[in-house]
Structures are given as structure tokens and as C-alpha cells.
Amino acid sequence: MEHQINEEIRDREVRLIDADGNQVGIVPIAKAQEAASSKNLDLVKIAPQAVPPVCRVMDYGKFRFEQAKREKEAKKNQHVVEIKEIRLSPGIDVNDFNVKANHAKRFLKDGNKVKVSVRFRGREVTHSSIGLDLLHRFAENCSEIGSMEKAPKLEGRQMIMFLAPKKDNPKKDAKKGGRKGKSGKPQQAPKTEESDS
């Protein structure tokens, strides 16, 4: 915000605050400007909407520098949440699924939200339940780090779901119910049921 300073201030009288922050009272503009120049400082209009406007005697260069520093600090401290997109296809194979799940986990760890979409081509849209299962499996794969913010919803030819990072990320054991794609990490007990002869 640009302030009016010194000769730019055209009001007949102003409410003056001196360099030490003390209220001097309402004075003619000439007297306020004289008070500032006698101390080798600037007269700055800090509350133009007040009647009469409030002016303060200060080092304007130093004031601008500190204001810019405060704004820079505030920007540094605020984390902008981005929405990253992951696209899946209904016939995605296990390796691609795991790669995409790992990307999503990385985005969630960085504090970003993830939009996961399944695009249906041709008649695939009639089997939207495949997309629904895929998205639920994907959410479960990322459940340690993120949680489902918006459940899967069919919009035209694509089904969309949103994941958000968990507020506190304690490492919990993944839920055991439901089949999961291989996550790339060794599981605690390898399954031996698949011995069909």
C-alpha cells in the first residue's frame, strides 16, 4: 500500500503522532511537516480515511523495508496446497498402478491434495463399477498417508475421487480387509493359497 508522504499530503490539518508514538493532537499541516523535517524524518499519512487524517513522523524508508520483510515472512510461512492429478485407465496393470500410487503418496507427503481420475473409452463406461473398485483400491493403497476427501463420482466419461493428506501421519497398519494390488513392499506373510495344480 502506497502512503502519501511529506509534500504529497494536502490536508489543511492532521492528527499528528510524533516519532516516539505519542499523540500530539490536531495540528495544521505546515506544523506537522515542520515537526518531521526538524528531526530529519518523514511525515507519513497512515490513516487517510480518518477525519482529520492521521499522520506520523517516521523514517519512511525503514518503515517500507520492515513492511516488505514482514510480507516476505508471511508468504514464506504459508503453504500453498496444490491439487495434483493422477489418471488411471480401467485396464491398468499392477506395475503402472503401483507407480501411480507411489506418485500420489509423494504428493500427499508434500501436503498436496490428489485428484484421481479414471477415464472410460467407448463402452467401458457401462462397466463403471470397475472404475469404482479401482479408485477404492487406490485410496486404500494410500490410506497410511492420505484419506478420501471426496468419494468417487462419475462425471461424463470419467470417474473422479479426491485424496487429502492426513493431518497427523502416524504409521498405522494398513487395513487387512479387501484385496490389494502389490505395493512393491514385502508383505508380512506371503500367501501360499495359490497352489492350483
Q: In this predicted model, what pLDDT tens digit does every residue of 46-90 receive, in sequence order? A: 888 888 999 999 998 898 898 888 888 887 776 666 777 888 887
CATH number at residue 121: 3.30.110.10
**DSSP character at residue 124:** G
**Whole-prediction pTM:** 0.45
Domain holding 52, by residue range, is 6-59
Residues 91 and 39 reside in one and the same domain: no
Task: Indicate if 26 and 87 belong to the same structural domain.
Answer: no
Residue 94 and residue 155 share a domain: yes
* One domain, residues 87 and 161: yes
- Tell me, yes or no, whether 187 lies in a domain: no
E strands, 18-167, where? 23-28, 42-47, 54-58, 83-88, 113-119, 146-155, 158-165
With beta carbons less than 8 A apart as the criterion, state whether 138 and 160 touch.
no
Rounded Cα distance between 85 and 116, Å, is 6
Specify the CATH number for the domain of residue 42.
Answer: 3.10.20.80
Q: Could you report the per-residue pLDDT of 133-154, keeping only the tens digit for each?
A: 888 888 888 888 888 888 888 7
Question: Is 101 inside a domain boundary?
Answer: yes
Number of domains in the chain: 2
- Is residue 160 located within the same domain as residue 96? yes
